[in-house]
A and B are shown apart, each in its own frame.
Chain A
Amino acid sequence: MNGMTITVKQLNTYVKSLIESDARLLRLSVAGEISNFKNHYSSGHWYFTLKDSEAQIRCVMFNSYAVKVPFAVEDGMRVVVNGRVSVYERDGLYQLYVESIENAGEGDLYAAFNRLKEKLKKEGLFAAEEKRPIKKIPEKIAVLTSDTGAAVRDIFNITSTRYPVCDILLCPVVVQGDNAPYSMINMLDRVYERDDVDTIIIGRGGGSLEDLWAFNNEALARKIYESPIPVISAVGHETDFTICDFVADVRASTPSHAAELAVPDKEMLFELISGLKTKLYSGLAARYNTAKAKYELASSGMLLNPLRYFDNVTIKVDGFEEKLKSSINRMMLVFDKRFSDAAARLDALSPLKIISRGFAAVSSGDGLIKSAKELSAGQNIALRFSDGDADCKVTEVRC
């Protein structure tokens, strides 16, 4: 064609033949986002532009193919289209002749998400052993979210109802758009410097995939992984999963759920306290009963003079006497030990304790003598000490 003059039509036909001769262009799949979607009113053909962040291409989908698409197609939808490339000679336009559309939903963003997820998983950032437990009874929770969104209101409401003892450190951040990861990373750095925060909640309410995209940022994920403080992520709804969710210590399905995970329930704490109170009462009762039993044992005559207990025992079998004696000695040792244990626990009013401090009880055949006036010279009396008795005779009375 060198030096030849040709018509426009000839040029376009030639380019078309070139393109159509490339087998790779005859059958291919292209991912992108649909825009300028038009459903031609009479022909039923679809016309739209497929674009990504850097380029775009015109697409046409003839009615015979379009009727087979099982979902509604609209602008902004992320799709993978299958078809061929050719040239519309009249307009000198090369375009995609689409034969089928798959709703990728997340499209190339989804692929990027999966790549990052796999990469961080391999590095061990999501490992179960890296997960730390959330403090059960926190004093302060840092909340990183937009201070104008619904999420922050939900978190305030739930934490203040469930456990108002816990304070909130509100950390306003940008949660969507290009600045969002930077904003959250900066704020995390500031929270990490503090020593009064027990738990971090980072998140936002529901939104489109693009709205939540900041939470799939690699640098943000790594910053969360570095956190010295346990982190609860709470991004979007139940069905939304982000990289931050995987790297956080705990993933909450919503901001409200995060608030529930972050603080204990006041009502349960009331129950716990009242249970402990009951145990205090029963514990004291048990200690009282033990002390009472010891006191009774200690103040029974048997312990004061254990041999008396055996006075009525007639030893009928020779040879057993020595054995019995040593048994009695052993028992006395045991009783002695129990006696001193018990006596040590008696309160200050215990007569045994007073006696053991160097006093003795004076009695005569008529009973205890409480006054010198009851005594007369020549009278026989008994002195009772903690460890035994003595019989005495009064030589003189002075009163």
Chain B
Amino acid sequence: MSKDNLTFEESLIELESITKKLESDNLPLEEAIELFQKGLKLSKECSDMLKSAKQKIEKITDLEQTNDD
């Protein structure tokens, strides 16, 4: 998982914005390389999340049971 604990959606949105920036802006090379590396890392994180995620199921219990707590 990302060290910033981004959700899948947040990671994907950031990846999209990095790609856009790298594609369209007239960036200095050093900055472009930095963005590229960040984007590559995000794309791997996104793929890993999709591959390794296991659905978690939480169940709302009856009110009576909640009151027992």
- At the interface, yes or no: A9 with Cβ under 8 Å from chain B? no
- At the interface, yes or no: B56 with Cβ under 8 Å from chain A? yes
Q: Mark A288-304, 1 if CB is under 8 A from B, else 0.
A: 10110000000000000
A286 CA to B36 CA, complexed, in Å? 12
Partner of B32, one of A160, A272, A276, A288: A288
A139/B7 in contact, CB under 8 A = yes
Interface residues of A in 306-341 (CB under 8 A from B): none
- At the interface, yes or no: B5 with Cβ under 8 Å from chain A? no
Q: Mark B27-69, 1 if CB is under 8 A from A, else 0.
A: 1111011001001100100110110011111111000000000
Stretch in A14-22, A106-114, A166-174, A370-378 touching the partner: A166-174
A159 CA to B18 CA, complexed, in Å? 29
Contacts of A272 in B (CB 8 A): 12
Number of residues in B with C-beta < 8 Å to the partner? 33
A168/B58 in contact, CB under 8 A = yes
Contacts of A282 in B (CB 8 A): 23
B19/A270 in contact, CB under 8 A = no
B56/A284 in contact, CB under 8 A = no
Contacts of A164 in B (CB 8 A): 50, 53-55
A residues contacting B by CB (< 8 A) are 137, 139, 147, 156, 159-160, 163-172, 187, 190-191, 266, 269-270, 272-274, 276-277, 279-284, 286-288, 290-291, 344-345, 347
B27/A168 in contact, CB under 8 A = no
Q: Which residue of B lies closest to A186 (CB)?
A: B63
B49/A165 in contact, CB under 8 A = yes
Whether A172 touches B32, Cβ cut-off 8 Å, given contacts A165-B8, A279-B19, A284-B22, is no
Q: Which residue of B lies closest to A160 (CB)?
A: B55
> Whole-angstrom distance from the CB of B55 to the nearest CB of chain A?
4
Contacts of A286 in B (CB 8 A): 23
A270/B29 in contact, CB under 8 A = no
